[in-house]
């Protein structure tokens, strides 16, 4: 599922989520991968007979008409699409006593494994929302001897999950104690801190189903000591894909950890987005005739076949879906790559603020 497909599904889900029925008159039908579509059609024909018993005339009419719309749509399919099918129909009229039945048909970009028929006051959207979830996530740990921050990299977002402090004193006078005893005390506190951090990581990450790997960062030799202490359970230790030297153990440390792990996260969305925007801004600064932004210049570049990459902010795409679709079609016609840019990163926000939503990297300079 690419960013374009994700955005299209996201916009449709938001549209459906905003619709509320007065009664249980909104119909959701989901057909999983490989399920016989004719079986579903027969079931819905049967449900029409059941719906005839609904007491409220308005609800009864809305449900039956919605079922008929879905059944007619299903007859256009010889078999269930490869990723399944989701259909939504219902009365969307805002006026009491007035009927306006609308139908949405979604062929999801990833496999749908849920079979469902439901009449309710809202559409059932959770199975589609699950498809939108990032498939792979990474656990993060920034640690030194005084504090540790545990976080999560999910798509383009870095989330802080937990903070811990050690109580290990800094360089202070031993107050009459021998240096050796003071050292033993601080080492004991450090080991106890490492144990607590390992326990917290086990609690958070051990049963996390989409966890792809762990990134650990901190000063030398703290992060190595943490791993060598052996408190981290084998299952999690095997998931450590990068150990990086960083000078902070707070939220900023998590940012630095992700930044320094670019090679390890080459396929992660946040890195791909940062790289393409870095390229766009570099070209804009050094070779301004090889990049363009704002709608009129972008459209001119597309019409002349000069666009190598079309960049569209997700904010723009949601605010102007028809214009977005028009730009994407023009880009596809000339073989341009299309990249959807989020506003979940600083670079993404900067892109939107400067370009107002659209920009291009050019194959050749425009005259």
Domain count, the chain: 3
Average pLDDT, integer, range 222-249: 93
* One domain for residues 258 and 333: no
Q: Cis link prior to 221 (omega < 30° from 0)?
A: yes
- Asked whether the predicted pLDDT for residue 182 surpasses 80, the reply is no
pTM: 0.68
Does 367 map to a domain?
no
Average pLDDT, integer, range 229-243: 91
Q: Which CATH number do you get for residue 191? A: 3.30.420.60
Does 250 map to a domain?
yes
- Asked whether the predicted pLDDT for residue 134 surpasses 80, the reply is no
* One domain for residues 214 and 311: no
Reduced to 3 states (helix: H, G, I; strand: E, B; else coil), residue 320 is coil
The parent domain of residue 342 ranges over: 270-362
* One domain for residues 92 and 185: no
* One domain for residues 197 and 222: yes
The share of the chain scoring above pLDDT 70, in percent, equals 96
- Asked whether the predicted pLDDT for residue 245 surpasses 80, the reply is yes
- Asked whether the predicted pLDDT for residue 243 surpasses 90, the reply is yes
* One domain for residues 209 and 234: yes
Does 291 map to a domain?
yes
Does 314 map to a domain?
yes
Residues 6+ apart with CB under 8 A from 190: 145, 166, 168, 225
Q: How far is it, in rounded angstroms, from Cα 26 to Cα 366? A: 51
Q: Which CATH number do you get for residue 287? A: 3.30.1330.30
- Asked whether the predicted pLDDT for residue 352 surpasses 80, the reply is yes
> What is the structure's pLDDT at 187?
84
Average pLDDT, integer, range 297-322: 94
DSSP state string for 75-140? TT-SS--TT-EEEEEEE--SSTT---EEEEEE--SS-----EEEEESS---HHHHHHHS-S-EEEE
- Asked whether the predicted pLDDT for residue 175 surpasses 60, the reply is no
């Amino acid at each position: 599922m690419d960013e374009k497909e994700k955005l299209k599904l996201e916009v449709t889900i938001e549209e459906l989520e905003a619709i509320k029925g007065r009664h249980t008159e909104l119909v959701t039908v989901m057909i999983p991968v490989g399920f016989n579509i004719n079986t579903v059609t027969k079931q819905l024909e049967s449900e029409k007979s059941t719906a005839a018993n609904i007491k409220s005339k308005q609800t009864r009419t809305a449900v039956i008409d919605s079922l008929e719309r879905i059944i007619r749509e299903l007859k256009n399919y010889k078999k269930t699409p490869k990723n399944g099918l989701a259909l939504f129909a219902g009365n969307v009229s805002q006026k009491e006593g007035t009927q306006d039945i609308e139908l949405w048909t979604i062929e999801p970009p990833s496999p749908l494994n849920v079979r469902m028929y439901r009449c309710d006051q809202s559409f059932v959207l959770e199975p589609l929302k699950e498809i939108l979830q990032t498939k792979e996530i990474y656990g993060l740990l920034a640690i030194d001897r005084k504090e540790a921050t545990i976080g999560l990299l999910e798509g383009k977002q870095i989330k802080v999950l937990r903070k811990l402090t050690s109580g290990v004193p800094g360089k202070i006078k031993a107050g009459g104690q021998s240096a050796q005893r003071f050292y033993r005390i601080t080492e004991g506190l450090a080991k106890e801190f490492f144990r607590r951090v390992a326990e917290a990581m086990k609690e958070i990450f051990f049963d996390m189903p989409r966890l792809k790997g762990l990134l650990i960062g901190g000063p030398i030799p703290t992060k190595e000591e943490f791993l060598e202490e052996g408190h981290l359970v084998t299952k999690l230790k095997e998931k450590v894909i990068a150990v990086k030297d960083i000078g902070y153990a707070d939220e900023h440390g998590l940012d630095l950890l992700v930044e320094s792990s670019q090679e390890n996260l080459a396929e992660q969305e946040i890195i791909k987005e940062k790289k393409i925007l870095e390229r766009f801004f570099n070209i804009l600064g050094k070779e301004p005739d090889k990049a363009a932004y704002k709608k009129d210049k972008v459209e001119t570049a597309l019409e002349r076949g000069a666009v190598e990459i079309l960049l569209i902010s997700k904010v723009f795409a949601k605010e102007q879906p028809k214009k977005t679709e028009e730009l994407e079609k023009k880009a596809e016609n000339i073989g341009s790559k299309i990249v959807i840019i989020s506003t979940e990163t600083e670079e993404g926000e900067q892109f939107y603020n400067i370009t107002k939503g659209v920009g291009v990297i050019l194959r050749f300079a425009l005259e």
